[in-house]
Amino acid sequence: MTVTTRFAPSPTGMLHVGNIRAALHNWMFAGGQGGRFVLRIDDTDAERSEERFVAAIRADLAWLGLTPDAEVRQSERFALYQQRFDALVAAGRIYPAYETAQELDLKRKILLGRGLPPVYDRAALALDAAARSALEADGIRPHWRFKLDHDAPIAWDDLIRGPQSFDPKTMSDPVIRRADGSWLYMLPSAIDDADLGITHVVRGEDHVSNTALQLQMFDAMGVAPPRFAHEALLTGAEGKLSKRLGSLGVDHFREAGIEPQAVIALLARIGTSDPVEPLADPAPLIAAFDFARFGRAPARFDEAELAQVNARIVHQLPFDTVADRLPAGMGAAEWDAVRPNLTRVAEAADWWQVIEGPIAAPAFDDETRAYLAQAAAAAEAIDWAGDPWHALTAALKETTGRKGKALFLPLRQALTGRDHGPDMAALLPLIGRDRALARLSA
């Protein structure tokens, strides 16, 4: 058996961080098992689906490096759905229902008012052929429901949540097709999973009841169901479900200067018993991926933690991977010198300005200006071919008696215009003799 997972977004909007996490975990599990990862575009809702969102989904997955092994679109598979639908109608597992939305809403309110669960009463099953013909003659077109088998509980062993059980008598027969002939999510998804050989479905715990319904659909079609893993939902830093998480996507991360490796490193581990590690290479994350390490508690997504992971990822990035995002003229030596002080790659431009100049040094007092004049004289005398920073500070320590902050800080301020920054031993050779002498003299 080839392990096959799928990510099935609807192209009705942009992917958010919860979607990205589901896509990532499906991709990681398939990769770790030597399997296949399928992108399924769930575009059965023709009115709300847009091609720009299809393109955005593909672009977001590409940015993250989650390359699918195959892509299918539900809008191109209607003939298959119709074939399965007809067979299930013939088998008595799908039936027409004629209640309007208003009538169904009234039934629900009555049941709730009596303290009963709002389960559909299957009134449509009591209609004979003549009654159905009369309704259709009046212009009432049916929607279609899948008839649940009430004889046995629905049970499965979830890869994250463990043993699960539902009583089908407490569940309404789900509507699987609208009166206009359009499809709802439930049945086409099960048909696709069967047809595409999906072996594992990794999705949020908000789909648990859907899984119970779909297990009966698999059984009605006579096919083995996939294994299911339902993950705890993401919460915000405050520890509760947050609307903001629904707006955080790849565009937001990219604009914030977040590297895709940081998104992967964080989302791979939150919700598990493993620590988040700033791994620029996803291979160790894939190798260690294990559903047994996921807990049922909500997974906390914190943008501040993502920023910290991002900084540590940036510190590992080689020049070749960022060269096209650096200022013109900035080379590997400059990148290696400033990289340890960056939280985002874009900040390298600030340090390139420090190296190239001009800079704005602070206003120094008379004593400091005298010290910097001595530094300028010492800088002219040292050997710039070796280690100019340590040569300069050693000479000044000997001639002025200064040490520690009094020795180093005025030099850094005069040479860079900053109080903090990259190691001056790496930075000073890049600033170079002429610029350094001009800055110390100024």
pLDDT tens digits along 125-150: 999 999 999 999 999 999 999 999 99
Count of other CB atoms within 10 angstroms of residue 229 = 20
Sequence-distant (≥ 6) Cβ neighbours of residue 191 within 8 angstroms:
77, 80, 81, 84, 221
CA atoms of 430 and 356, how far apart (whole Å): 9
- Distance from the Cα of residue 249 to its chain's centroid: 7
* 8-20 average pLDDT score: 95
Residue 107 annotated in ligand binding: no
Q: Which pLDDT tens digit goes with each residue over 195-215?
A: 999 999 999 999 999 999 999
141-163 residues labelled b (16+ CB within 10 A) or e (exposed): ebbbbbbbeeeeebebebbbbee
**Distances from the Cα of 123 to the Cα of 97, 180, 184, 256, 356, angstroms:** 8, 21, 21, 54, 80
pLDDT tens profile 392-402: 999 999 999 99
**Residue 225 — very low, low, confident or very high, per pLDDT cuts 50/70/90?**
very high
At 245-301, the pLDDT tens digits run 878 899 999 999 999 999 999 999 999 989 999 999 999 999 999 999 999 988 899
- Is 244 a residue whose pLDDT tops 80? no
What does the domain layout of the chain look like in residue ranges? 80-177, 319-356, 366-441
50-69 pLDDT, tens digit per residue, is 999 999 999 999 999 999 99
Give 240: exposed, middle or buried? Use CB within 10 Å, 0-12, 13-18, 19+: exposed
Backbone φ and ψ of 411, nearest 5°: -65, -45
pTM of the shown model: 0.91
Contact 281, 291 (CB under 8 A): no
Q: What is the mean pLDDT of residues 66-77?
A: 98
Most confident residue range from 84-88, 113-117, 245-249: 84-88
**Best CA proximity match to 359, nearest among 433, 413, 426, 408:** 413
Cα of 164 vs its chain's centroid, Å: 27
- Tell me: pLDDT of 234 over 80: yes
Reduced to 3 states (helix: H, G, I; strand: E, B; else coil), residue 357 is coil
> Rounded CA gap, 226 and 200, in Å?
5
User: Residue 11 — φ and ψ, nearest 5°?
Assistant: -80, 55
Share of the chain above pLDDT 70, in %: 99
Looking at the chain, how many residues does it have?
442
80-177 in CATH: which number? 3.90.800.10
The H or E element spanning position 158 is strand 154-158
Structure tokens at 436: 């350094």
Per-residue pLDDT, 236:
87
Listed in sequence order, the DSSP H helices in 158-302 are 186-195, 208-221, 250-255, 260-269, 283-288
Q: Which residues contact 439 (CB under 8 A, 6 or more apart)?
A: 357, 359, 361, 414, 415, 431
Q: What is the DSSP letter of 94?
A: E
Report which DSSP code applies to 397: H
Residue 1 has pLDDT above 90, yes or no: no
Contacts of 401 (CB under 8 A, 6+ apart): none
Structure tokens belonging to residue 204: 């949020």
* 78-90 helix and 208-221 helix, angle to the nearest 10 degrees: 70
pLDDT at residue 240 greater than cutoff 70: no
pLDDT of residue 195: 97
Domain boundaries 366-441, corresponding CATH code: 1.10.10.350
- One-letter amino acid at 326 equals L
